[in-house]
Copies of this chain bind each other. A is one copy, B any other.
Amino acid sequence: MTRRRPMRSDIAWSTTDTITVKGLDMCRDILGKVSLGDMAFLEMTDRLPTPRESVMFNAIAVCLVEHGLTPSALATRLTIAGAPEAMQAAVGAGLCGLGSVFVGSMEDAARLLQQSMPRPDTHADTAALARDLVDRALASGKSVPGIGHHIHKPVDPRAPALFAIAREQGFDGPYVALMTAVAEEAGRRLGKNLPVNATGAIAAIACELGLPWEIVRGIGVMARAIGLVAHVLEELRNPLAREMKTMVEEMATAHHRPAA
């Protein structure tokens, strides 16, 4: 039996009387001192946030917790209706839908921003970078991520709210400028008003916080898990899944069944 590569993990380890997470002692350094959002930052970056980073990171995470009756929330509610003994699987089922269509656009935006400007550069020509970025996005046959919104018109109100916090906390840097320039360029190119949406604002701010684009989707995944627990609770107390199922089944197969 040959070992090709030693297994190694540096997230957490325990002894009989200590638990260590990312080098901090759980009981002495973390419990009662670190909030859940700051713990998430620690898990994602290997260090605790500064006070300004804490406000900013918590704001973008909080923004992703709850969007009402999303497809994910409905999947969770349909699942708990069939398996009320397995809340964890209902949340897991809901998370499975956070793919390329919904949460993925946040990842796409962060990726494009970081590919355009690998390191934050306050002297960058954001207008030129935005032109190139929009070119690339349109050339790939996909839409430009992070701009426009099918419900929140003319402006997704979360974007200016998040950008205002970014200004207050000192994260109003080159990625926010580039994202804004991208929205302007894409709007000009497509002849529509397409302001930065919540997804684009979060992506730009995640870049300002130094998070690599590969992990940006993770903020959405962890935040939404919180929201899905709330939907489990409401479904247990005031269910709607069965009624939804009956209604959809009747409507979608009416053409096959004889008139009542």
Task: List 24 A-B residue pairs with CB atoms under 8 Å apart, sorted by A's residue number.
Answer: A13-B256, A14-B68, A18-B157, A19-B157, A20-B256, A26-B63, A31-B162, A35-B36, A39-B226, A40-B65, A43-B227, A68-B253, A71-B79, A71-B82, A79-B93, A84-B101, A85-B86, A87-B217, A87-B218, A88-B97, A90-B97, A91-B218, A95-B95, A95-B225
Given A245-B69, A252-B7: A62 touches B36 (CB 8 Å cut-off): yes
Is B13 a contact partner of A43 (Cβ separation < 8 A)? no
Copies in the complex: 4
- The digit string for A40-79, where 1 denotes a CB below 8 A from any CB of B, is 1001100000000011001101110111111110110011
Number of A residues with CB within 8 Å of any CB on chain B: 125
* Interface residue? A128 (CB, 8 A): no
* Interface residue? A12 (CB, 8 A): yes
Residues in B with CB closer than 8 Å to A236 are 214
Is A252 a contact partner of B240 (Cβ separation < 8 A)? yes
Is B27 a contact partner of A161 (Cβ separation < 8 A)? yes
